[in-house]
Structure 1
Amino acid sequence: MKKAFLALMAIACCHFLHAQPTRPNQPATDPANTQAPYLKFPTIPPFHLLKLDSATYLTKDDIKKNRKTIIMYFSPDCEHCKHEIESFLSNFNKFKDIEIVMATYQPFSEMKEFNEHYRIFEHPNIKIGRDEKFFLPPYYNIHNLPYLALYDKKGNLITTFEGTQKVDTLMNAFKEKKK
């Protein structure tokens, strides 16, 4: 009886110790408690995207300094992504002073077709590349496309959006940051 009682107490102690919350300086083990990297480091991330020439890479150093920036994660076959880029292009005068970085993980050939179909190459402030290492989705904790991350002229995060957004919503987010 004494051995059974001691065994039961040992199990209860182990359960009690395991159920303790993490200390403030101890990393959380539950993914729901971890903060996405973009929130820990709210500046333009160190991305590495394969450019359309399939030989060179687009990095954050290629973004013009002192300009607002949008990083758009998309899929070439996503209807919402197509609507978003159509909205950008039909309102291009509002985006002409904003650097737009479009990234996808989809096959290179699909990205290239998307670029040609929408004639993105005609807009020097829109850069497109393939996220070969699948860096951005976990960095931003992306669940829906298109995913838009807006940065101010200093490269600091303003806000993020998942799903199609109206042009006015994006422009207002940039304006609110000015205040």
Structure 2
Amino acid sequence: MIFNMRNMFNALVLLLVIPLSVSGQPPAQTVPDFEFFRFDKRPFTTMDLPKSKMLFFLFFDSDCDHCQHAIKSIGEQYQSFKKASIFLISMDGLDKMDHFMNTYGSKLKREKNVTVLQDKLQQFIAKFKPVRYPSMFLYSSEKKLIDYEDNPESVFRLVNAINKNVK
């Protein structure tokens, strides 16, 4: 009985410690290898990223108020964001993602440099290491992190970083 209680205690400690260590990790400093999926279910991998533009990744949840605010703000400042390739990624189902984009991201949905992707393999959190929703990552064309932001009120910082790093 003591052996089982000790195992249960150790398991409980691990369950409490592991999430804390993951949330304390810095965001990915370079774009990691990944496989997400387009709306037509075709895979989209790191190899599909453009080579000559900054890369902007926004990780969102369709029910997140802050995500809704962030996507609207980016749409309103699209002229600055169009200097980068934009990837909007969610683990939600395609119907929820489509509703989210129609409701909050309508200014971005049809833009050539915007790609909406589903993370159905649930890789984004483990590989990019976001802290919370929304998580916004700006990478150089060399795939090095320029800026990370998870506060939708600070989208202006990303606009400044894009303008500063345009080649």
Same fold (TM over 0.5): yes
Change (3 A) 1:163 1:68: same
Are positions 1:145 and 2:136 aligned together? no
Q: Normalized against structure 1, the TM-score is what?
A: 0.71
Any conservation in 2 of the 1:144–1:163 contact (CA below 8 Å)? no
Structure 2: which 5+ runs fail to align?
1-16
What is the aligned partner in structure 1 of residue 21 from structure 2? Answer: 32
Which of 88, 91, 101 is the aligned partner of 1:105? 91
Any conservation in 1 of the 2:54–2:83 contact (CA below 8 Å)? yes
**Deviation (angstroms), 1:150:** 1.0
Identity of aligned residues (%): 22
Are positions 1:47 and 2:59 aligned together? no
Deviates further, 144-153 or 113-122 = 113-122
Q: What letter matches 2:21 in structure 1?
A: A
Which of 111, 123, 131 is the aligned partner of 2:111? 123
Q: Normalized against structure 2, the TM-score is what?
A: 0.75
Structure 1: which 5+ runs fail to align?
1-28
Which of 42, 46, 68 is the aligned partner of 1:82? 68
Superposed CA RMSD in Å reads 2.6
Q: Distance in 2 between matches of 1:168 and 1:109?
A: 30
What is the aligned partner in structure 2 of residue 172 from structure 1? Answer: 160
What is the aligned partner in structure 2 of residue 93 from structure 1? Answer: 79
What is the aligned partner in structure 2 of residue 3 from structure 1? Answer: none
Are positions 1:162 and 2:150 aligned together? yes
What is the aligned partner in structure 2 of residue 12 from structure 1? Answer: none
Are positions 1:69 and 2:51 aligned together? no
Q: What letter matches 1:73 in structure 2?
A: F
- The number of residue pairs the alignment matches comes to 147
Q: Distance in 2 between matches of 1:167 and 1:142?
A: 16
Q: Find the structure with the greater CA-based Rg.
A: 1
Q: Which has the higher contact order (CA 8 A, sep 6+)?
A: 2
